[in-house]
Chain A
Amino acid sequence: MKFVPLIWAGLWRKRTRTVFTLLSIVIAFVLFGILQGVAAWLSGFGSASGTHRLYVVSRISQIQPLPSSYLQRIARIPGVHQVAEIAALVGSYQQPSNAVVVLATDPRRMFELYPEWQVPQNQLQQLVRSRTGAIIGARLARLYGWKVGDVIPIHSSVLKNDGTSDWTFEVVGVYDSPEQPSETDRIIANYEYVDEARHFERGTVQAFIVDIDDPALAAPISAAIDAQFANSADETVTQDEKEFIQGQIRQLGDVSTLVNAIVGAVFFTLLFLTGNTMTQSVRERIPELAVLKAVGFADWRVTMLVLVESTLLCVIAALLGLLAAAALFPATAALGIAGTSLPPKVFVIGLLIAIALALASGLPPARRASRLQIVDALAGR
């Protein structure tokens, strides 16, 4: 601790340069924190749900429709507790950039399958009774200012029987999901209404969601469902929820590799920046370091002073960057791409990277400081 004033003074010797270096590192760690947070969240996505929910989709492609008649056959398979169909209606509200997804389903069964989605019972009853009704996610309600009683127009590429693509839904309720706010960006509507009103692909669904009694039996039940439709025109593939969602994420590309590549490039550049700062800082202080050695500071102590200085610079900046990332991270949840809090392991990895960065950038100037000859340094040679 007694060396702190000396190290701190060295760090702030050139205030402007230190501030700019600090800011560069802070920004790099903000980027690191958010990207790693998103990657960590994506890799863990759906894990909280366990395997009691299965997704049944077409073996050919997830967007290939399946006959809605499969529902009854799936429901009869032993171990299946509940099944709901989903037909997705992708559209936009007022302008193309306001994308919304309507999940046409049996609302009662759907909310039974997702007990974490909270909706007042009277609103659910109202949806069951109202053919064109819809229960909207809390985030959509906040985003567009929708409330119960509003009639919302959705423009979709799905053609209706009347030749238009404009769908209307009457808001009868709002559901929330405190654990997974990103799941409240949907509209739940009646399957019968959507299926009867659309011109194409009637009697089909995109997927079935299956609730099973015993998660331990997920594999045999999945196999039994797929066996039921084997060798038919519409074969199925059944996965647990986590597998299904991660499969969808994988379609975006290898997020983890992409994130690591971006972060790696940023830190590689940062290594030169901090290395340059420390090298300049030591070069400017050669006479001062020589004086320290003259008054009795051993070579190893001078090495440590430079290394601690670079570590302090990197760790302080990394901490600030990670704290900023943690503060900004909930905003990514609002956008629906990540969780609500930065995973603690991102902090740990970030700080370890900061220390490694400090050592890698501080070691060459520290060695130079350690090796300098007092007499030559004092004489300016």
Chain B
Amino acid sequence: MTAVVSLQKIAKHYVRGAQRVEVLQTLDLEVESGEFVALMGPSGSGKTTLLNLIGGIDRADQGAVIVAGESLEKLNSRALARWRAAHVGFVFQFYNLMPTLSAYHNVELPLLLTNLSKSQRATNVRAALQLVDMSERATHRPSELSGGQQQRVAIARALVADPTILVCDEPTGDLDRTMAGQILDLLEMVSRELGTTIVMVTHDPLAADRASRRLHLDKGRLFTATNGLAA
């Protein structure tokens, strides 16, 4: 197995007003290809910050962030955007679909950045929607879909460009138990059958149970669920 994510001595702080908040401190983490990792921890522990660093939408103050073979701290803004388009799929707690676009066009968004033809894009979009069982709702706008259906569309959007890694920030946080179960089934299936590496932030222990590895983040430090400090 090769490491898709390799974080080495990562530190990150934020400034809130006059206060400097140390969010992550000399953190190390490795995620192997195909792993499904759940990140847990109390609010403010740095889970989302860690996820953002892995997804390349935030930068560390120090340390090395190597994801899908690329040292992200060395990439400029434009190269980082290109890298995200090629390697990362995002799933957010509140779905973050474009309200004015149909499910089809929402899923198509990442493919607009590729050189695929219209018909190739259509094939990929249809396949992604079929994977999340949303083919029948392709023409529906987000407002015409339930929360669970919107999250399925969001997962299709995250998967459509065949990313190396899927980063999910509380993907079931806004859903009822049944819907959450269906979304977790879907993520498990993606991990198992597509071999996509998944890093998921969650507060829900039942959701974390679906992962192949559970990590606990507290006060900027990482622990495994059972064995204490992860690294």
Contacts and interface: CB of A to CB of B under 8 A. Distances in A.
Contact of B109 (A292, A300, A374): A292
Interface in A295-321: 295-301
A288 to B, nearest CB: 6
A2 interface: yes
A378 interface: yes
A82 B122 CA distance: 78
B84 A295 contact: yes
Contacts of A295: 84-85, 90, 109-110, 113, 157
A296 B110 contact: yes
B96 A293 contact: no
Interface string A2-28: 110110011011000000000000000
A151 B82 CA distance: 84
A298 B81 contact: yes
B100 A10 contact: yes
Contacts, number: 70
- Interface size class on chain A is 20 to 34
A3 B112 contact: yes
Contacts of B99: 13, 288
A297 B113 contact: yes
Interface string A23-64: 000000000000000000000000000000000000000000
A375 interface: yes
B101 to A, nearest CB: 5
B76 to A, nearest CB: 10
B110 A298 contact: no
Interface string A316-344: 00000000000000000000000000000
Given A2-B118, A9-B101, A9-B105, A378 B96 contact: yes
Interface residues of B, number: 26
Contact of B58 (A2, A9, A12, A375): A375
B20 interface: no
Nearest to A8: B100
Given A294-B57, A375-B58, A9 B98 contact: yes
A13 B57 CA distance: 26
Most chain-B Cβ atoms within 10 A of its Cβ — which of A10, A291, A297, A299? A291
Contacts of A2: 112, 118, 121
B120 to A, nearest CB: 11
B86 interface: yes
B77 interface: yes
Q: Chain A at the B interface: mostly helix, strand, loop or mixed? A: helix
Nearest to A11: B100
A287 interface: yes
A218 to B, nearest CB: 65
A376 to B, nearest CB: 9
Interface string B90-110: 101000101111000100011
Contacts of A3: 112
A9 B92 CA distance: 22
A287 B96 contact: yes
A299 B81 contact: yes
A288 B113 CA distance: 16
B90 A9 contact: no
A221 to B, nearest CB: 71
Given A374-B58, A375-B57, A6 B52 contact: no
A5 B111 CA distance: 13
A288 B58 contact: no
A14 to B, nearest CB: 10
Contacts of B98: 6, 9, 288, 291
Interface string B31-62: 00000000000000000000010010110000
Contacts of B96: 287-288, 291, 378
Nearest to B81: A298
B112 A13 contact: no
Contacts of A298: 77-78, 81-82
A4 to B, nearest CB: 10
Contacts of B121: 2
B210 to A, nearest CB: 24
Contacts of B84: 294-296
A294 B57 CA distance: 6
A287 to B, nearest CB: 6
Contacts of B90: 291, 294-295
Nearest to A287: B96
Contacts of A378: 57, 92, 96
B52 to A, nearest CB: 5
A297 B81 contact: yes
Given A13-B100, A296-B86, A375-B52, A6 B109 contact: yes
Given A6-B109, A9-B105, A300-B78, A294 B55 contact: yes
Interface in B155-170: 157
A5 B110 contact: no
A6 B78 contact: no
Nearest to B93: A378
The winner among B77, B86, B112 for most chain A CB atoms within 10 A is: B112
Given A6-B101, A6-B109, 14 more contacts: A2-B118, A6-B105, A12-B100, A287-B96, A288-B98, A288-B99, A295-B84, A296-B81, A297-B85, A298-B78, A298-B81, A301-B81, A301-B113, A374-B58
9 contacts: A3-B112, A288-B98, A288-B99, A291-B96, A293-B81, A294-B55, A295-B85, A301-B81, A378-B96
7 nearest CB pairs, A to B:
A296-B85, A9-B100, A298-B81, A374-B57, A291-B96, A296-B84, A375-B58
